[in-house]
Structure 1
Amino acid sequence: MPNCIFHIPYNVDPNWPSGSNIRPIKMINAFKENGYNVEVIMGYGKEREKKIKEIKNNIKNGVKYDFLYSESSTEPTLLTEKNHLPLYPFLDFGFLKYCKNHNIKIGLFYRDIHWRFSQYKKNVNIFKRLVAYIFYFYDLLKYKGLIDILYLPSKKMYEYIPIKLNCRVEELPPAFEVFTNTHSKSQESKKKELINIFYVGGVNPQLYNLEKMFSVINRENKYKLIVCCRENEWKSCSKRYEKYINDKIEIIHKKDKELDEYFNEADVVSLFLEPQEYWKFAIPVKLFTYISYGKPIICCKNTAVGEFVNDNSIGWVIDYSEDSLSLLLKQLFNNKEKIYIKNSNISKIIDNHNWKARGRKVINNLTS
C-alpha cells in the first residue's frame, strides 16, 4: 500500500459542520479510497509535534511517502492554537522543509483569501488585523520556498494573492460525497401550479445578500422559497428581511439529513447572491451539496459559481436584478421541461466532482 502524508495546522472539530472542518476529513477519506495509507498530522501544536516526530522516524527507517498534501487554516498557521499565540513557530514549516529535503513533493490547498476583503476589516479590529496580516504574509513567503503545487478553490483566486509563489497552480474546489438524485421524487411538482426554490447557507447581507430573491418571491404567487440558515445568524439579520416575509417564504434551521425532505420537494436551488468581488473566485461547499441532490442552480453572472454552472450547463446564470430573476422564474413556470434538462446534465458530471475524484487529482499531480 503506498503512503502519503496529510497535514493541517489546526484542530478539527467534527461536531461543527463548517467547510474548513468538513473538507479535511473528506480529503483524508479520498486518499484512502484511492488506495493510500494516510499518515495524518492535525490537532493543536502538541499533537502535531508528536505525529511529526513519528513520521520523521519512519522516514529515517526507510518508509517511503509519495507526497505530502496540506491544507491551510482560515487563520495564519502560527496563530491556530487555542490562545492564538505562536507557541510552535518552527513546527509546521520546519516539517515541510524536512519533507522537501527528502524529495517528498508537497501540494498545499490555500483555503481562503478573506483577509484581503472589506468584510474582514468590518469584523476584526485594527490591532488584530495588523497582527494577522503579518502572519498571513509570513505564510505566503514560506509557501513560496516550499510547495510544488498550490491548490485553490478556483484559479481566479490567485489574482488576489499578494505574493506570487512561482509554482504550479491547480484548481481543487469542494466536492460531494454521495449523489442523491431526487429528480424522480420532484416530478410531481411538474403538475403543480408552483415552483419550489430552496436555499441553504448564510443570510448576512455583507456576503450573502438575499434581498432581491425575497422581493421577487414576495410579490409573486407562483413560487415558494425556503431558506435554511443558522438560527443565530437569522436572529441577527432578520430585520433586513422581515418586510418581505409572507406565506410564500419560509425560514428553517436544519442540518444534515434533516435537509433531505426539503431537497426532495425543491424544483431548483439558489445561489442568487449579490456578486461582490469575493464571489469572483469563491466556490462555496453548498454548490456541491446542491449538485449531490441533482438540483439545477440559479446563480449570477460575474461569479466563479456562475462560470462553473454555465460551463457544465447545470442551471441558469443571470444578471443580479429582480427583473432577470422574475423573467427566469416565469420561463421555468411556463416550461418545467427546462428544469429536467438541467437535472439530467448534473448526472453527467458527478464522477468528476466527488471527493474520491479530488483525491485522485492530487495523487496524479504529485506522483507524475
Structure 2
Amino acid sequence: MSSLVVALKERGHGVDVLAPHLPGDPAPSLPAVAVELPERPRLVTRGYDDSLRLRARSALREASLPRPDVVVVTSVDESMVLARHLSVHHDLPVALVLDGPCEEGRSERVEEMLAQSVHTADALVASSAEEAGLLRHRFTVPSVEVLPVTTSEARVEAVLAATEFALTRARAPRMAFHAPYPLDPAPRSASRQRPNQMLAAFTELGYRVHRLTGHPFQRSFALADLRRRLAAGQKVEFLYSENSTQPNVLATSVRRGVAPFLEARMFALCALRRVPVGQFYRDVYWRFKESQASVPLPRRAFMQFAYRVDLAVLRASTAHMFLPSLPMAPIVPFPERRVSALPPGAPVHDSPSPSGVKLLYVGGIGSGYALDEGLKALKEVPEAHLTMVVRREEWEAQRERYAPLLTERVTIVHAGSDELQQHYDAASACLLLVAPDGYRRFAVPLKLFEYLGYGKPVLASRGTLAGDMVAEMGSGFTVENEAHDIAALLRRLAAEPALLEDAGERARAAGRRNTWSQRARTVAEVLTGRRDA
C-alpha cells in the first residue's frame, strides 16, 4: 500500500490514507489517519456496523481532513465497510480495486455486511478474470472491470482508471433497487433472472444504484444507509422493487431472520421523502384456489394474509405497480389507475439463421409446460428436428412420461445459461407451446423475449397472451395446441423456407425494440412523470 501511495503522490495526486487497525496492531508505515477498530464480535449486529461508522467519522473529524473527491479501497474487509459509510455520509464515489484474492467472510452476517458495502462501489476492478468472476459470483454485481496488475506501475494505472470511472459515475443520478431476497449469481428460474437483468439495465442506463437486496439483516443495513442518504439531502430519483413469488416475510429462509415490517418501513420512508416507488408484481398464483390446493391449510391462510398485507403496504405508500401484462390487472386488488405493463426484456444476441426446420425449446416440462402435443406432431414430420434444453432433475422426473413420444430427431440437453448460445445458433425457430388456460391469458413468459433476443421466430399456442403477442409482432406463428395443427404448420414451414426467413427478420426487429434497457427506461419515465403510465 505504501508504494502505491508514494507513486500516486509522485504523479501529483493528493492522497490521505485511512488506516483501520485492531488494538495492538503495529502503527501504519506511512502517514495515515488511524481508525482503531472494535473487536469483531462472534455475532455481528447492526451495532458493530454503527460502531465502524462512528469511528471513521470521528477519526476524520479529529484529523481535520478536507473532503476527498473519491475513496479508493483495495480489499474486501472492514476497509470497504468504512468506505461505504463515507460514501453514504458525504455522497462520495467509491472505487474498489482488488489486486489479490478476495477472502471469504467469517460468517453469514459478515458476508452480508461486506456485500452491502461492495454494492456501494461505483467502480469495481479486479486483476484477473478469475478474480472478477469470484467477485461477481460472491456479491452478484453486474460488472467487474479486469485490469491485469503485473507491476507496480500497472497497479497505479488500475487505481487511476477506477478512480476516473468512479468520478464519472458520481455525476449520475441515483435510484434505489429493492428485492426481498439475495440476487442469484447464476439464476436457473425466470423469477430470479429478471431482477439481475433489470439491475444491470439500470446500471447500463447510467444510474448509481442503491441496493436494498438480500436477507433481512442485509436489507436492514441498506435501509439505514438509504435513510442517512435522504437525511443528508442526497437525491434518490425513485425506488424500483422486484417482488418475490412469496410474501415478503417468507421471501427468504426464516433461519436467516424475519423482519415482517421491513418493507413497510422502507416504502413509508420513500413516501415521507417523496421518492416515487414502483414494484414489479410478479405472480398471482395465490389468487387461484387450484394452485394453492396442495399447500397445508394453516400455511395457506397465513400466506393469503401476508400477500394482502404486502398489497396494503403498496397501496398506502402510493406505489405504482408494474405487471407482466395489463390483462392481469383485474385479478390483482390494486387501483388500476396506478398500474402499467412491464413485460420481460430481450437480451439481444447475434445468432445465425440455419436452414430447415430445426426447433429449440428452453424451459420447464412439468405441470403447465407440457410438450406432449408438440412431440406428437414432430413424429409425423420427418423434416423437423427438436432440441429440448431442460433441467436434469426435471427430465429424470418426467422421463417415463415423455419417452414414448421421442424419436431420434429429438435431442435432450442439460445446459446452463452460459451454454445456450450454441443451441440457439443451431435453431431456426423456437417453441412456446402450452395448453391455453385462464392463467395463460395474461402470463408473459420470459423465454418469449429470450427467443426474440436471439432473433428466432416463435411457434406459440393460440389462445394465450404470448400467442397474441407473437401474432401482433409478426415474429412467428400461432397454432392450436393440437398435434394435428402443429404438424400441419411444421410441414408448411418445411415446404416454404421463406416463411421462417421473413419471420426471423421480424423477430430480430422485435428483440431490438424490447430490450431490458428499454424496460428500465420505461420504469424511470413512469416513476419520474416523464411518461403517462
Q: TM-score range by the shorter chain?
A: over 0.9
SS of match in other structure, 2:254: coil
Q: Report the Cα distance in structure 2 between the residues aligned to 1:311 and 1:252, rounded to whole angstroms.
A: 31
Q: Report the Cα distance in structure 2 between the residues aligned to 1:232 and 1:88, rounded to whole angstroms.
A: 33
Q: Which residue among 219, 224, 228 is the counterpart of 1:53? A: 224
Identity %: 29
Counterpart of 1:52, as a letter, is: L
- 1:172 paired residue number: 342
Q: Which residue among 322, 329, 346 is the counterpart of 1:158? A: 329
Structure 2, unpaired ranges of 5+: 1-171
Correspondence 1:199 to 2:370: no
Deviations 1:142-176 (A, max 9, x none): 21222432101111111222x23354211111112
Native 8 Å contact 2:453 2:508 kept in 1: no
TM superposition shift of 1:122: 4.6
- 2:508 paired residue number: 347
- 1:39 paired residue number: 210
Higher RCO (C-alpha under 8 Å, 6+ residues apart)? 1
Change (3 A) 1:61 1:201: same
SS of match in other structure, 1:74: coil
Moved more, 276-285 or 86-95: 86-95
Change (3 A) 1:274 1:119: same
Correspondence 1:141 to 2:312: yes
TM-score by length of 2: 0.65
- 1:120 paired residue number: 291
- 2:75 paired residue number: none
- 1:264 paired residue number: 425
Change (3 A) 1:283 1:101: same
Moved more, 214-223 or 334-343: 214-223
Q: Which residue among 440, 443, 448 is the counterpart of 1:279? A: 440
SS of match in other structure, 1:180: coil
Deviations 1:54-92 (A, max 9, x none): 110111111011111111111101122312798212111
- 2:397 paired residue number: 236
Q: Which residue among 466, 484, 489 is the counterpart of 1:328? A: 489
Q: Report the Cα distance in structure 1 between the residues aligned to 2:319 and 2:306, rounded to whole angstroms.
A: 21
Q: Report the Cα distance in structure 2 between the residues aligned to 1:159 and 1:240, rounded to whole angstroms.
A: 36
Q: Report the Cα distance in structure 2 between the residues aligned to 1:251 and 1:147, rounded to whole angstroms.
A: 48
Aligned residue pairs total 358
Aligned pairs for 1:245-264 (under 5 A) are: 245-264=406-425
Native 8 Å contact 2:247 2:307 kept in 1: yes
Q: Over the residues paired in the alignment, what is the CA RMSD in angstroms? A: 1.7
Correspondence 1:97 to 2:268: yes
Change (3 A) 1:249 1:81: closer
Deviations 1:253-275 (A, max 9, x none): 11223222221221211001111
Correspondence 1:295 to 2:456: yes
Moved more, 46-55 or 79-88: 79-88
Deviations 1:35-60 (A, max 9, x none): 21110100011100011111101111
Deviations 1:219-256 (A, max 9, x none): 33221122111011111112221111221222111122
Q: Report the Cα distance in structure 2 between the residues aligned to 1:237 and 1:120, rounded to whole angstroms.
A: 20
Native 8 Å contact 2:381 2:490 kept in 1: no
TM-score by length of 1: 0.92
Larger radius of gyration: 2
Native 8 Å contact 2:183 2:192 kept in 1: yes
Native 8 Å contact 1:301 1:317 kept in 2: yes
Native 8 Å contact 2:479 2:486 kept in 1: yes
Change (3 A) 1:123 1:292: farther
- 1:24 paired residue number: 195
TM superposition shift of 1:33: 1.5
Moved more, 139-148 or 300-309: 139-148
TM superposition shift of 1:308: 1.2
Correspondence 1:63 to 2:195: no
